[in-house]
Each structure stands twice: as structure tokens, then as C-alpha cells.
């Protein structure tokens, strides 16, 4: 099992090595290599996100929007990145890695993060409602096997988008965002979700046959 995972990670590293776009750097991405797809916007965050899109999406994580602070899950420097990584490390141990290696591991598991609203910053007023049809189109394009919604305040919008995509019968989990004291709760609950997805054969079993619990 470990050899299989190492091969996946090695292949992901080779695929990404020439195309990583660090935050603050100039874009050097071949446009033909990254198709923005359904209703996507041309932002640096979207280009980074699409570099880690799995060939087959198994678990689609859904957030509210990229942070206005400039951090981002796919820059491996946001709260969502940090505590999602911690949860994967609880289930998969050291094989989950950190930094860019974790993003490659996350991708190799068939996991991907999308957002209700694609423009950075907190959505205002009716923006969440208006973003639902676009998200539904992207969900339909991704064709995941399960959903993990992050932030209970947007659960209604996420459920509606999933329903519009005709995928409401798939497993859906909704968690509090890992901030304001909810960090440990998020890690624990996401780790439990990952184990349920393993039992459902949506995610691979624990690498090496053992689970690693972090204190």
C-alpha cells in the first residue's frame, strides 16, 4: 500500500513541478494546460486551484470564497489548508505530507476544494444566492462521489447547488469553519468523515494499514 501511495505522489510531483504558481509570483502557465471550465473566473487563485484538480474527483470540499487576506488553500497557507492537512494526517499519518506535498497527496486521493463564490473576499448580500447556479454547473462538471461543506452559514446554498446538479443522493457532510475556536473540532470531525468515506470505499484505506492519531 505504501509503494502504491509513493507512486501516486511521485507522479503528482512530476505533473506539478513545472507548473506551480507561488503566491506573489508572475504567472508562467501554459493556457492550453489549464482549462478554466464552467463559469470560472480568471484569477490567480483559480489558476492555482486548477493545477491540483484531480483527474477524477471523489470528494469535493466546498467553501465560501477565497480569503481577502491573500492566503488560499492551494497556496498552502490558509486556515482551511492547515486544519484540513491536520485531519488527513490523523487518518493517513506521515504519508499525507505537508506544504506542496500535502496538496499533491490531497489531489492523488481524488480530493478538491471549490468555493461558492470565486472572487476573493467575504460575499455580500445576495452574492451567495446568485452564485448557486454557477456552483451547480461546476459540481455537475466535477462529478464527485461525496461532498464536504465547510462553514455552516452557507450550508443552505451548498445543498441547493448540489440539488441543482442532481447529485443530492450522494453523501454530504457539513462542518464548522476552522476558526474562532472551532479548529480542533474541525480536525476531529473531518477525520471522522474521512474514515466514513474510507468505509464507503470512496477514499483509499489507511496507508500502511495503521491509523496515526495526533495529540
Spell out the domain ranges in the chain.
Answer: 2-209
Amino acid 35: pLDDT: 44
Least confident range from 17-26, 55-64, 115-124, 151-160: namely 17-26
Read off the pLDDT of each residue in 137-165 and give the average, rounded to a whole number.
97
Contacts 24+ apart (CB under 8 A), 78-82: 79/177, 79/178, 79/179, 79/183, 80/113, 80/150, 80/177, 80/178, 82/178
Q: Residues 9, 98: contact at Cβ < 8 Å?
A: no
pLDDT at 39: 56
pLDDT at position 7 = 53
Percent of the chain with pLDDT over 70: 76
> Would you say 154 and 128 are in contact if contact means Cβ atoms under 8 Å apart?
yes
Give yes or no for residue 208 having a pLDDT over 80.
no
Confidence of residue 206 (pLDDT cuts 50, 70, 90): low
Quick: pLDDT tens for 8-25. Answer: 445 444 444 433 344 433
> How far is CA 176 from its chain centroid?
15
Does residue 191 have a pLDDT over 80?
yes
CATH number of 2-209, picked from 3.40.470, 3.40.1000, 3.10.50, 1.10.3470: 3.40.470
Can you tell me the mean pLDDT for 91-118? 97
Q: What is the C-alpha separation between 156 and 160, in angstroms, rounded?
A: 6
Is the model's pLDDT at 94 over the cut of 70? yes
Amino acid at each position: 500500500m505504501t509503494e502504491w501511495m509513493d507512486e501516486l505522489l511521485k507522479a503528482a510531483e512530476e505533473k506539478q513541478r513545472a507548473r506551480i504558481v507561488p503566491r506573489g509570483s508572475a504567472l508562467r502557465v501554459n493556457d492550453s494546460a489549464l482549462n478554466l471550465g464552467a463559469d470560472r473566473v480568471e484569477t490567480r487563485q483559480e489558476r492555482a486551484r486548477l493545477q491540483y484538480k484531480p483527474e477524477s474527483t471523489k470528494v469535493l470540499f466546498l467553501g465560501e470564497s477565497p480569503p481577502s487576506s491573500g492566503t488560499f488553500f492551494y497556496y498552502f497557507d490558509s486556515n482551511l489548508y492547515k486544519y484540513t492537512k491536520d485531519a488527513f494526517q490523523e487518518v493517513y499519518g506521515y504519508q499525507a505530507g505537508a506544504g506542496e506535498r500535502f496538496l499533491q497527496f490531497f489531489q492523488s486521493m481524488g480530493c478538491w476544494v471549490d468555493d461558492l463564490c470565486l472572487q476573493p473576499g467575504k460575499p455580500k448580500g445576495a452574492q451567495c444566492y446568485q452564485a448557486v447556479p454557477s456552483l451547480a454547473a461546476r459540481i455537475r462538471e466535477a462529478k464527485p462521489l461525496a461532498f464536504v461543506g465547510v462553514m455552516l452559514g452557507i450550508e443552505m446554498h451548498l445543498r441547493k447547488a448540489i440539488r441543482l446538479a442532481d447529485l443530492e443522493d450522494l453523501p454530504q457532510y457539513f462542518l464548522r469553519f476552522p476558526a474562532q475556536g472551532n479548529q480542533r473540532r474541525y480536525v476531529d470531525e473531518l477525520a471522522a468523515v474521512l474514515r466514513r468515506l474510507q468505509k464507503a470505499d470512496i477514499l483509499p484505506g489507511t496507508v500502511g494499514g495503521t491509523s496515526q492519531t495526533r495529540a
